[in-house]
Chains A and B, each alone.
Chain A
Amino acid sequence: MIPLSHYLIVSVLLFAIGCAGVFLRRNVITILLSIEIMLNAVNLSFVAFGRASGDLNGQIITFFVMTVAAAEAAVGLALVIALFRHRESLNPDAFTLLKW
């Protein structure tokens, strides 16, 4: 039987990879993908904790996270399309209108 800590370590690694992606990449689409990685890392820990405690709530919150991720992806990609139309760029450093 796999210990719970192993699942949590995988979750930690995925979350750290996603966090590094948000900071390091200069592409809005890759940043959104990194956010999806982080959401999935949290999902994995929810399901693992739910399995360890014999509780279904861990799986149910995973569905809600998936739904919110779908909504976030739809709105985020619409924003990306609108931004690309104005600036012809996907680099977040290009969007500096509110900066002085």
Chain B
Amino acid sequence: MFETLSFYALAGLAVVASALVIGQRNPMYSVLMLIASFAGLSGLYILLDAPFVAMAQIIIYAGAIMVLFLFVVMLLNAPQEDAAEWDRAHPFRGPGVGRFGALLAALLAVQLAWALTAATGLSAGVGERTDAATVSSIRALGRMIFTDHGFAFEATSILILVAMVGAVVLARREGDS
């Protein structure tokens, strides 16, 4: 009972906050709403017996990535969407493109939901067939990352390095040396 209630509360928080992210005119509020959405998702991960993913979600996403977004939003200081004058100049202007995008997103949701109804074996409880201790063990998780997925782990570190250098080069003012 408690699990069901907390699932619906957290899922509702995640979905509503995500909907508010794209419903806001001011990017600052969008970022803050996305942090709320990540909090809901992190609770869902705890319900799924994945405490380490839940903590990483809070620390990495809400703590690092969203702070980066907040820095940029504050740095650029352009809070409102300046749609008006560019929309008039744009050849594809008007609500047509927006309608097409909304239609595409709704179509995607319907298609995915239809795929869910067609699939079998989804109605069983998510933790019924397996033991919670096997998936929530951080020891097993660490062992797997550093042995089975060692190459992917090292490749990721190269990726981070490249992204870091690339971000510094891209954001540098021209003429700086």
Contacts and interface: CB of A to CB of B under 8 A. Distances in A.
Interface residues on A, range: 35 or more
Given A33-B69, A60-B144, A16 B34 contact: no
B122 A3 contact: yes
Nearest to B49: A51
Contacts of A40: 37-38, 41, 61
A80 B87 contact: no
A94 B86 contact: yes
B22 A56 contact: no
B170 A75 contact: yes
B1 to A, nearest CB: 11
Given A60-B144, A66-B60, A81-B75, A89 B167 contact: no
Interface residues of B, number: 89
B36 interface: no
Contacts of A6: 7, 11
B160 A71 contact: yes
B8 to A, nearest CB: 9
Contacts, number: 257
B72 A77 contact: yes
A39 B76 CA distance: 25
Contact of B56 (A10, A63, A84): A63
Name the prevailing secondary structure of the B interface residues: helix
A98 B22 CA distance: 27
Given A1-B127, A74-B68, A93 B87 contact: yes
Given A47-B53, A91-B81, A84 B108 contact: no
B9 interface: no
Contacts of A51: 48-50, 126-127, 130, 135
B31 A13 contact: no
A67 to B, nearest CB: 5
A47 B126 CA distance: 11
Contacts of A79: 170
Most buried by B among A2, A40, A62, A93: A2
A77 B167 contact: yes
Given A48-B48, A69-B65, A90-B78, A54 B141 contact: no
Contacts of A13: 15, 18, 109
A1 B3 contact: yes
Contact of B135 (A32, A55, A70, A77): A55
A2 B38 CA distance: 20
Given A3-B126, A54-B135, A34 B22 contact: yes
